Amino acid sequence: MANLLLYNAVNQGIFSKAEDNPVNLGLFSISAFAKEKGYSVKLLKNIKFIDIDKDLKHDLKDALLVGVSCMTGDPIKNAIQFSKTLKKIAPELKIVWGGYHASLEPDQTLSNSYIDFLIRGWGEEPIVELLNAIKHNRDYTNIKGLSYKQDGKIIHNPTARYDDIGKFPMYDYKLLDGFKEQVKGRGFIYCSSRGCPFNCSFCSVAAFYEGNKPYYSYSLERIFDELQYFQKEFKPSHFFLWDDNFFVDKKRVHDFCEIYKQKKCDFKWESFGRCDFFSNCDESLLALLKEVNLKKIYFGAESGSLAVLKKINKNITPAQILSSLERIKKYGIIGDYTFMSGFPFESLADLKETLKLMKDLQGIDSSAGIRIFNFSPSPKMDLIKDCLKAGFKYPVKIEEWEKFEYHCFVPNWVSPEHARLLKVLPWLTSFLSQETLPYKEKRGIVDFVLKILHKSSKFRFKHDFYLFPVEWLALRFFYKKHLGI
């Protein structure tokens, strides 16, 4: 039984097991804060695995509120299905949506009858205040960051002002049933900061913070206290520092390394970074990162075309992308590079420059991960203006956002040949590197199929052979069917 029920509206991956529920650190933080304030919290199963008559009805007995976390793309379909189902079972129970999509498109989201409230931005404090209001039958007018309906009108309370993430308690990983068994011997996701100080035009992070600072971080003392506790408690193989960009401040990175050594830590870790940081940083810092067991860096390289990089406000060059891998390779650190294609101003020639750069990266280090995804629009990104000029029809209903999924969305403004490649490349490049293959666990025929796809991707990419891509179109078809989009 729980006062607050939380739902993570993300589908399982096509190769995931049913029990491998996706981690949602936002919900883990909300749960920890709500429990600290005296409320009981439960994370509900994915809608595909809930026994509606047994599990869900039983969980609703003590519930005051149900929170749904949702991002643009296929999670919207899941969130809508769950919310409609819940409203049929318990029409009086209040549902609040939050997360990136709800925060960036509040009016369109809240206009639906199966959603009662919406929280814009961080959810910890507003959701506890909302629980208090529901429990004690108070009004909602003073809850900052809250949107709600009153007399048929949508009301947006003033935006919440953020100051410090250090006031929130440690993430409640135990909210996820079986998490300890799920993570043992595998990667452990953790965030040491929120936000990003950069402003790439394809990204909505800055808009999510709605006038607040774009970047916040925990103290290094707290980070190490928590990482050492998690290492002892959960015994992961390594930590994945899931920050939008861990390598923002060189001094903070340097101090992190020094404290790691002082505390005699031995955990392995990986995180996200920018190519220009590693292209320009001192050799001494790279040596220090090797010393403290940094094993992999994930880079958003985005394009091999300098013209595209300038238009998306990435503020890096193809030369810096290559240099970043050359430099970290010397210290035994693996680079994993993701690219995008399908921008409204991108030509087929730009895409071919990207494919060439991807090959150049593999020429530098064959173990480097290289993947390309399809650009897909989301609310409040700066590039929406370019999309509209290119003929993009802005969705008028929330359901229309379901199709904007980065493996499958193909924009109508690209050429036919470009579109054909966008149906194949996201799948093919996901299987190029042994490092980035979907998680395997001795599953017989599944692992055999994965190996065949890996060999096919290497051959096709090496020889630029993308004709008759039946295996990749089939995988795309089954994935879309799996998501129901």
Contact between residue 34 and residue 4 where contact means Cβ atoms under 8 Å apart: yes
pTM comes to: 0.94
Query: Rounded CA gap, 371 and 338, in Å?
Result: 5
Helix pair angle (283-291, 250-262), 10° resolution:
40
Tens of pLDDT along 235-275?
999 999 999 999 999 999 999 999 999 999 999 999 999 99
Helix pair angle (348-364, 318-329), 10° resolution:
20
Q: How confident is the model at residue 478 (pLDDT cuts 50, 70, 90)?
A: confident
Residue 94 has a pLDDT of 97
Tens of pLDDT along 349-360?
999 999 999 999
**The pair of three-digit structure tokens given for residue 96, joined into one six-digit string:** 């609040």
More confidently predicted of 387 and 20 = 387
Query: Rounded CA gap, 235 and 238, in Å?
Result: 9
Query: Rounded CA gap, 39 and 55, in Å?
Result: 20
Q: How confident is the model at residue 20 (pLDDT cuts 50, 70, 90)?
A: low
Q: How confident is the model at residue 52 (pLDDT cuts 50, 70, 90)?
A: confident
Give CA separation, 169 vs 146, 154, 228, 320, 396, in Å.
Answer: 22, 32, 16, 38, 38
In the block, tokens 């009108």 appear at 153
Query: Hey, what long-range contacts does 452-457 have (CB within 8 A, 24 or more apart)?
Result: 456/428, 456/431, 457/428, 457/429, 457/430, 457/431, 457/432
Ordered DSSP codes for 354-404: HHHHHHHHHHH-TTSEEEEEE----TT-TTHHHHHHTT----SSGGGGGG-
